[in-house]
Structure 1
Amino acid sequence: MTDAAMRFGKAPEELARILDRAPPIMGDALRGETRLTGRWGHGALHDRLPGMEGHVVITYYGDPQDIVWRVGQQRLAGATRAGTITIIPEGHDGRWDIAGPINVSHVFLTRARLQDCADQLAGGKSVELLARVSFDDPVAARVMEMLGREAAAADPSARLFVEQATDLLCTQLMRGHSSFKALEPAVDRRGLADWQVRKVTDYMRAHLDESIGLDRLAGLVGLSRFHFCTAFRQATGRTPHEWLVTLRIERACQLLAGPELSITDVALAVGYETPSAFATRFRKQIGVTPTAFRRAL
């Protein structure tokens, strides 16, 4: 093992120091010294965690608990809900206050593994992850759930699946939680207010199976179509169409997790008139077809 890998291996040890039990690392290290845990649980936490080498990504299961992370002057708070993730970027220290007990799974990512993805998506530019606490991302959370389940399997096909799913997770982190393309509101606050973004988002979620026009969305917040598009992008960093597509695909992932609906029914439920149009968009967003995604669950 390289010196860097040995230092990265201390990340689980640092967590074990402040938790009531050590993270149960599963299987051998993956490419780039990536390590995984399955689903496990620990108690409440009220302690300071020093900066670690490598990134830690966490998802949650079971009943929600309050969680607060204080990093310098920044306070990040949320609840440990299913479908959310927490990201501790490399070198970020801070005080954690987490009610317990909670059920979690972890992915320990080296900078090198994430940079492999950056080399393809960002032309090799250095990419930094954003600190997140219980941030809504059903796609990343679902991938992590699959990783935790498959990591214990010993057959070669499981190893291949885990490596590919880890690449998918890295892509999702790059797209939604990094300096490459952040989903956070823009620093320039001349755009929509938070309540306006929530109102538009709630409307989109309630009408995913319909054709949603810009005029209707603009009317929800009392703006012209032109000013709405500009203000929405200033507030979210994305166009209304990009935002809607993300919500549709996230909902599709949730529906695909159950056996009740066919691929065609899922496509119609999230606003796509044909399975082929749905499959094309799904693959572009997630990296695999809806059929492959469902088969892997």
Structure 2
Amino acid sequence: MANLEGEDAVVAAPPMDPTVSVDLVSAGQWSLCRMEHTVMGPVSFDQPPPPVHHLAMPLGTARPRMTMVVEGRVRRPAFGPDEIIAIEAGSCGRGGWDDAFESACFYFQPEAIEAALGRPVGAGDITLHTSTGLKAPIVVHLLQALHADAAAGQPHGVMVGDAIFSALAAQFVTQPVRDGGSAGADWRVRRALDYIHANLTDPIDLNSIAMAAATSPYHLARSFRAATGSTIWRYVLKQRARRAGRLMLTTEMSLTQVAYAVGFETYSSFVAAVREEYGMTPMALRRGR
């Protein structure tokens, strides 16, 4: 089973001709996946197929005439509703388009699917194959969620994106992923809760929580929600907001000091979580003590 950690998990976008006009709008890097939202000018490329999977989601309204060469055949994507381009690792290195094209492109290693699901996946069970018009509403919804997280500056670190990618990976395997039973899920959830509370003030990601619970990110996300009624990242935010509330009411720490003391990675995520938990801003909560 694949185990991608540290530098092994970092994914770089395939190189592009430096003479091509590229405007990088936003980018995101999670534990197993990278996204780049770009507006790229006309381009023609002919290079070795990159060794990473590539999902391209069109944005904006412009749709240039596009050409891709897949298995020696010329294909021309049209991009209907809920359609994306899927490029399997090592399968396509020739193509281009004739006008500016805005898109969000997602890159991940083939081993990332196994790493996200936490189990071996046979080559015959992978359904991610090169397609110039893959109609996949669920995949599009998940890619939109990843794009939104990156566009917001990943206010919760990699935690939200990792959870989304685990759900995305499950869309590209044929065999259903089964949990190990409710009894097995319960002790794993307890381990996850113990880990979260012991490390609440530190940067936390889904992979580290899953490792502490001796399960995969995908399985943990499902069993955690079934047991607590909450997603993992919302639970973490709630607990941090509650700890922040106690500090705001019992100490003279500044609001910024409180935010970072309890583990929030950005001040904006601190404000949003406190508002969600208490129905008011941190400043209003402190004034009311």
| TM-score normalized by the length of structure 2 | 0.50
Instruction: State the structure with more CA Rg.
Output: 2
Which of structures 1 and 2 has the larger relative contact order (alpha carbons within 8 angstroms, sep 6+)?
Answer: 2
| TM-score normalized by the length of structure 1 | 0.49
